[in-house]
C-alpha cells in the first residue's frame, strides 16, 4: 500500500512540474505576442504601418499602462 501511495505522489509531483513548465512557456509566448502588438501599435501611431488599431492593440496597451501605474505606486520601475 505504501508503495502505491509513493508512486501516486511521484506522479502528482511530475504532473505539477509539467504544469509549471507549461505555464512558464505559455507566459513567455503571451509576452512575445503582446510585445509584438505593442510594436505594431507604435508603428501605427508613427504612421509606419497603415492600418487601424484593433481592440486587441488597445487591450494590451491599457493592460500594460495599468500594470505600470500599479508598479509605480509600489515604488517599482515601469516595465517599458
Percent of the chain at pLDDT > 90 equals: 40
Does the pTM surpass 0.95? The reply is: no
Grid cell, residue 25, equals 512557456
- What are the residues whose beta carbons fall under 8 Å from the beta carbon of 51, sequence distance 6 or more? 44
Q: State the residue for C-alpha cell 488597445.
A: 58
| Residue 27 confidence (pLDDT) above 80 | yes
Q: Name which of 62, 65, 56, 67 is nearest 33 in CA terms.
A: 56
Distances (CA, A) of 31 to 11, 28, 59: 30, 5, 14
User: For 48-59, what is each residue's pLDDT tens digit?
Assistant: 999 999 999 999
Grid cell, residue 30, equals 503571451
pLDDT level of residue 70 (50, 70, 90 thresholds): confident
Amino acid at each position: 500500500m505504501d508503495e502505491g501511495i509513493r508512486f501516486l505522489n511521484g506522479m502528482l509531483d511530475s504532473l505539477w512540474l509539467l504544469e509549471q513548465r507549461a505555464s512558464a512557456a505559455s507566459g513567455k509566448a503571451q509576452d512575445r505576442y503582446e510585445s509584438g502588438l505593442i510594436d505594431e501599435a507604435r508603428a501605427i501611431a508613427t504612421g509606419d504601418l497603415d492600418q487601424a488599431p484593433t481592440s486587441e492593440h488597445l487591450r494590451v496597451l491599457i493592460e500594460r499602462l495599468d500594470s505600470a501605474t500599479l508598479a509605480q505606486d509600489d515604488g517599482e520601475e515601469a516595465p517599458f
